[in-house]
Structure 1
Amino acid sequence: MPDADAVAAAVARNVRRLRQERGWTLDALASRAGLSKGMLVQVEQTRTNPSLGTLCRLADAIGVSLARLVELDEAPVVRVVAADQAAVLWRSENGSARLLVGSDRSSHLELWDWVLGPGEVHRSEEHAPGTQELLHVAAGVLTLDVDGHDHRVETDGAAVFQADRPHAYRNDGTVPLRLTMMVAQPESDLDPAVFEPAARLAP
């Protein structure tokens, strides 16, 4: 699978290109994303491996899917992602999260493969209003914490929930947990201005 340096380079290239296409300065994008200008400079100059939270902020601010930010190449009409080509965007001692594929043609859609080792937890801030997550547990038992309330999802079980509130995925068991997740952000929640050509954004 692509190493962290290759993913960071792709993120740098894609963020810079998408920002420039919209006619935005570094300050403008940093403000939209709630990041410091210094952090954005580090991202665009490949001087840091941005966290998953930083990537989500940038994707939301630019108005594209997370998958668009980490694409190593321009997406063709049909894109097949081999198992060793999925970008790992979160890693722990015994777990990982791979972004398998995504689309932002009509709405934000992302397909993820998550692994959490025994006792591991991943906490997420709320996503954009209206965002939903759909998940299927392939192995182990998931404890899904949404707004402070736990929900148990056993092997081969599924769940859907509103992800525009704090949530966490937790493995309270003694065996690895593996789940497939889809993130869906409705088109109505996207800022239409970010899809306008750069010329229209110019004063």
Structure 2
Amino acid sequence: MATAEASSVALIGSRVRALREAMDLSLRDLAERSGVSAPMLSQVERGETSPTLQVAARIANGLDLSLSQLLRLDEAGSVTIVREDERRRGPATASGHRYEVLTPPLPGQRAELSRHVLDGGTATGGPGDPPVHEPGSRETALVESGRVVLHCDGVTYALEAGDTVTFDADLPHHFENPGPGEASLLAIVSAGLRRS
């Protein structure tokens, strides 16, 4: 195998492994999702074989990506800008909670930044709601304006504008704006970083 080709095969393999681990999938899990055998996946990840386009497409599908995303053919470079009008906005609800995701939807991304606006007397969720983040994830939030209360695992924390809080995001939690005015906060969720 030529040096450039070997390097390309190793890059694809390490990318498949990183993406699989980021999704907390075992080789067997990815094999079931993609229809590619676990031994073949293992060979790809170790850079021992170059997958055909058909196999690569099946692996990409198992990772919830397009083939071009897996092979990074759709990435223009190492810098990605999300313009204000390109932000992914959450569904409009009558609850008074609006949010938008500020980071691009890049494959293998391990953190997501979002901005939340809460009308007075509203919340991002409620008691008894299941955690919405994967096991081991952490969240850091900065209160931009107003006052909010973080309810996390049965304990409440009062936060003012300028305060920052970090917590285990896989625990039941939600933010509440006691009002009367509007409150806003920035939140970044990092996936699977806690080791306990």
TM-score, structure 2 as length reference: 0.55
Q: 1:165 aligns with which of 144, 167, 171?
A: 171
Q: 1:93-127 CA deviation, whole Å, 9 max, x = no partner? A: 44311011056666620000110111111225322
Q: Is residue 144–residue 169 contact of structure 1 (8 Å, CA) maintained in 2?
A: yes
After TM superposition, the structure 1 stretch with the greater mean CA deviation from structure 2, 174-183 or 83-92, is 83-92
Task: Give the structure with the larger helix fraction.
Answer: 1
Q: Is residue 135–residue 179 contact of structure 1 (8 Å, CA) maintained in 2?
A: yes
Is the partner of 1:121 in helix, strand or coil? coil
In the superposition, relative to structure 1, how do residues 152 and 76 fare at CA in structure 2: closer, same or farther (>3 Å)? farther
Residue 173 of structure 1 and its aligned partner are, at CA, apart by: 1.4
Q: 1:119 aligns with which of 118, 121, 140?
A: 121
Q: 1:154 aligns with which of 145, 155, 160?
A: 160
Q: Is residue 137–residue 194 contact of structure 2 (8 Å, CA) maintained in 1?
A: no
Counterpart of 2:146, as a letter, is G
Return 5+ residue gaps in structure 1 as ranges.
1-21, 27-60, 69-73, 190-203
Q: Is residue 107–residue 184 contact of structure 1 (8 Å, CA) maintained in 2?
A: no
Q: 2:142 aligns with which of 136, 155, 171?
A: 136
TM-score, structure 1 as length reference: 0.53
- Residue 90 (structure 2) pairs with residue 89 (structure 1): yes
**C-alpha distance in 2, partners of 1:134/1:110?**
11
* Counterpart residue number, 1:179: 185
Is the partner of 2:85 in helix, strand or coil? helix
In the superposition, relative to structure 1, how do residues 25 and 184 fare at CA in structure 2: closer, same or farther (>3 Å)? closer
Residue 76 of structure 1 and its aligned partner are, at CA, apart by: 3.2
Counterpart of 1:108, as a letter, is R
Residue 144 of structure 1 and its aligned partner are, at CA, apart by: 0.4
Identity of aligned residues (%): 22
**C-alpha distance in 2, partners of 1:130/1:182?**
14
- State the Cα RMSD in Å: 3.2
Q: Is residue 125–residue 166 contact of structure 1 (8 Å, CA) maintained in 2?
A: yes
Counterpart of 1:117, as a letter, is D
* Counterpart residue number, 2:76: 76
Return 5+ residue gaps in structure 2 as ranges.
1-29, 35-61
- RCO higher in structure (CA 8 A, sep ≥6): 1
Counterpart of 1:166, as a letter, is P
Counterpart of 1:110, as a letter, is E
**C-alpha distance in 2, partners of 1:83/1:104?**
17
Q: 1:136-175 CA deviation, whole Å, 9 max, x = no partner? A: 0000111100012111111111100001111111111111
**C-alpha distance in 2, partners of 1:86/1:174?**
28
Stretches of 4+ aligned residues off by more than 2 angstroms: 22-26, 61-64, 74-77, 90-95, 102-107, 186-189
Task: Give the structure with the larger strand fraction.
Answer: 1
